[in-house]
Amino acid sequence: MVSSGTSMAAPHVTGVASLLWQKDLSCSSDFIRKLLALSANLYGDREEYGYGLIDLEYALEQYDAFKAVYTENEPLDDIIEESQEDGDLLDNTSEIITFDDVDYVVGSWDSTAHNGFPALESYESHNPLSENGIKIVKLAAIISDKELPGFDTYPQFHGFMSKKVGTPTYQSNYIASYIYLTNKAVGLYNSTTPSAPAGLSSYDKSGIDTYLTTSSFNGKTWTTLLAGNTVNATNKALFVYGIAMHSVTDLYAHSTYDKDGNYIDHKYVSELIGADTPSVVSNRFECAEVMAQILIAHIKRFESGDISDFYTVANVPYDWSSFKLGRLSTYAQQVNSSYYNTYKDVFDIMNINK
């Protein structure tokens, strides 16, 4: 996947710096900083790229030569200029390794734009997320809105936390439903019977099994659902993963509360506002993007989702004070009490008992 920003860059630079520093702990931070800059691959204009791309291998090669000429507080450019005149230090001219077959994710919640969630690109023909495989996942990512609209009527397919079944309101465990949907995908791929995770109530299981069978979704056959794509185990599994993608990303639209504990509702005034609008408490949408990336990794390995997926999202260093997820901690505890207790503080940060 493609990620960017200082949250990605800082740990890589820190890792390289630590490996260089362990060679001699008495070295100053100035020495390490200048060695990083010296050894980086300057693959573009310095005003645009700074010192370039860090290169641990080259830094280790240049370590002794740089240490021999290094002077505390002397400008790096002066050190380089003097040393290169003597042939002591060399520019990093290594070839930059690039990748063309990287998947990336963007997303949207409103029904007309669900085709773009996930919008993936890949060029490996053997990858389950080949161009055709991506189309199948995208095709399924909107199927729940088309076939089973109404997140409060079909909560298992829309990441919603409750359903009105007489009195009182029935609680739907969105974590367990997500895991079970991915289990169904794996079952189709391996021709095995999917297991029901802990925390999946008989009502939620029945709600999923009623509409998603081995031969159809809401009564539509695989031939119809796959819309001209080959009906085989791989494509069936990809389609069900797309259904799971819809459910687990819609969670951050349909089961959220603002920082004051008010439900982020679905309302129409002059235009759509509220839960389906990414700009309304935008951190919700950032969470959905992270969760989509996590699920993509599962899809590429044809494996099930897990409670750890929700921990990973909650543990991303964003400011989660702007919104909460309804009953996240309760549902996590139902699915795996041991895992929840281990990471209780992380889950509870995003939790609100509503």
Q: What is the DSSP letter of 155?
A: G
The dihedral of CA 122, 126, 128, 134: what is its sign?
positive
Query: Which pLDDT belongs to residue 197?
Result: 97
Domain boundaries of the chain, sorted by first residue: 6-85, 111-352
Query: Which pLDDT belongs to residue 125?
Result: 35
Query: Which pLDDT belongs to residue 165?
Result: 46
Element (H, E) at 162: strand 162-164
**CA neighbours closer than 13 Å in the CB half-sphere of residue 34:** 21
pTM for the whole thing?
0.65
Burial (CB < 10 A; 0-12, 13-18, 19+), residue 303, is middle
Query: Which pLDDT belongs to residue 126?
Result: 38
Number of neighbours of residue 164 by Cβ within 10 angstroms: 11
CB 246 within 8 A of CB 114: yes
pLDDT of the chain, 354 residues: tens digit per residue: 566 778 888 999 999 999 999 999 999 999 999 999 889 988 777 777 777 889 999 999 989 988 988 888 788 878 777 776 666 677 787 877 776 665 554 445 555 444 444 433 333 333 456 777 888 998 898 899 889 988 888 999 999 987 654 455 678 999 999 999 999 999 999 999 999 999 999 989 999 999 999 999 999 999 999 998 899 999 999 999 999 999 999 999 999 998 888 888 876 544 445 788 888 888 888 888 889 889 988 998 899 999 999 999 888 766 667 899 999 999 999 999 999 999 999 999 889 988
CB 114 within 8 A of CB 108: yes
- E-strand stretches of 219-353: 220-221, 256-258, 266-268, 272-274, 323-326, 351-352
pLDDT tens-digit series, residues 278-330: 888 888 888 888 898 899 889 988 999 999 999 998 887 666 678 999 999 99
Query: Which pLDDT belongs to residue 281?
Result: 85
Q: What are phi and psi of 242, to 5 degrees?
A: -65, -35
CB 328 within 8 A of CB 345: no
Contacts of 269 (CB under 8 A, 6+ apart): none
pLDDT tens-digit series, residues 116-138: 444 333 333 334 567 778 889 98
